[in-house]
Amino acid sequence: MKRFHIALAVANLDASIADYSERLGQPPTAVVPGLYAMWRTDLLNFSINETPEKAGQLRHVGFENDAFDGYAKSADVNGLEWELFSAAEQDRRIVSTYGEAVRMPDSRT
């Protein structure tokens, strides 16, 4: 499966989880309390991390693609960071960056 990826900085993780869960129509797929949350919908891989001083800023974009093995990062002509990764690689990176995530039982993926 291939999903577009968007990563945002937020002021308050818990308030943002509530807001984005309603907007996306599902709870997050994984949460690292106080730090990070990620949703995998049919078309979108959406992640947030609590960084109050950068709240509302786009962190990076890219694609989750299970046909891709590994992780790659590049910048476009505007300096925007793009990532390419598999779901399994993203899960490994979540743990190495933020710690063990709590898997949400009601998520669709």
Assess if CATH 3.30.470.10 describes domain 2-103. Answer: no
In this structure, what DSSP letter does residue 54 have? G
**Residue 14 clears pLDDT 80, i.e. is over it:** yes
pLDDT of residue 100: 76
Q: pLDDT tens-digit profile of 25-75?
A: 999 999 999 999 999 999 999 999 999 999 999 999 999 998 999 899 999
Q: Collapsing DSSP states into helix, strand and coil, what is residue 53?
A: helix
Tell me the domain boundaries of the chain: 2-103
* CA angle (81 as vertex; 60, 20 as ends), nearest 5: 5
Taking the model in full, what pTM does it have?
0.84
The more confidently predicted of residues 100 and 68 is 68
